Amino acid sequence: MSVHSVKLVTIGENLLASNDQAAAHNRDRLSEARVLALNLMASPGAGKTSLIVGLLGALQGRAQIGVIEGDIAGSIDTEKVVAAGAYDAVQINTGGNCHLEANMVERALIDLDLASLDILVVENVGNLVCPTHWALGEHLKLCLVSTAEGDDKPIKYPEIFAISDVIVLNKMDLIELVDFDRDFFYESVRALNPQAPIFEVSCRTGEGLAAWAEWLLSRREELLCVSPS
């Protein structure tokens, strides 16, 4: 569309290649420590932190979970997940950056006791666009979307749905109140990504969280060759 965009893309390619290297390094470290890393991406307010809190409840006593919280500003989410039982949590403030990058995660990993963790959830900055281009070293990309955002998010933000390994639809308790066409949503997601599982949850009521948490544990076993506990 614009000369500016073209310039940004050219410059971006070098940065992205360098980012991919750092991400591969992070992934190696995490795999070696048998820590399944999840890159949790969503709009602001879709319920990212609530989903982590739900996971902590669902896997209590069965998995040690660490969290890296990425935010423009503030540490409110880190406080929440620690209170909810996270084994360890690190806050990254990006100071205006609209997404996390691999070297930010690399730095945060220094502060985490990886040997004690089973799962690491990296909560990205709330944004359906920019995080899609920046690998962090995750094993799985999760796209979280809420019924309150409307059923047209896959059509408007196709890339994040296309590249995600799993999609979670939150705020199912509100679905009757917000004109959300479930069939339309599923058809739109399937056109972009035929194979990713879709989990329907309500972090408010707890509905669906156990099934999603079990799936995550089984993915850890498969991807990291860990025996079932």
Q: Taking contact as CB under 8 A, which single stretch among the options 23-31, 51-59, 143-151, 217-225 is the one that binds its own copies?
A: 143-151
69: which strand partners? 91, 123
Kindly state whether residue 149 participates in binding its own copies, applying the rule CB under 8 A. yes
Q: Taking contact as CB under 8 A, which single stretch among the options 24-32, 58-66, 140-148, 193-201 is the one that binds its own copies?
A: 140-148
Q: Which residues contact 104 (CB under 8 A, 6 or more apart)?
A: 70, 92, 94
Q: Taking contact as CB under 8 A, which single stretch among the options 31-39, 65-73, 110-118, 217-225 is the one that binds its own copies?
A: 65-73
Q: Which residues contact 126 (CB under 8 A, 6 or more apart)?
A: 42, 43, 44, 45, 46, 48
Nearer to its own copies, 173 or 211 (CB): 173
3-state secondary structure of 71: strand
Confirm if 157 and 188 have CB atoms less than 8 A apart.
no
What's the Rg (C-alpha) of the chain?
17
Kindly state whether residue 202 participates in binding its own copies, applying the rule CB under 8 A. no
Interaction site with its own copies (CB under 8 A) = 1-5, 7-8, 11, 15, 18-19, 43-46, 71-74, 76-77, 92-98, 101, 103-104, 107, 125-130, 145-146, 148-150, 152-153, 155-159, 171, 173-174, 177-179, 204
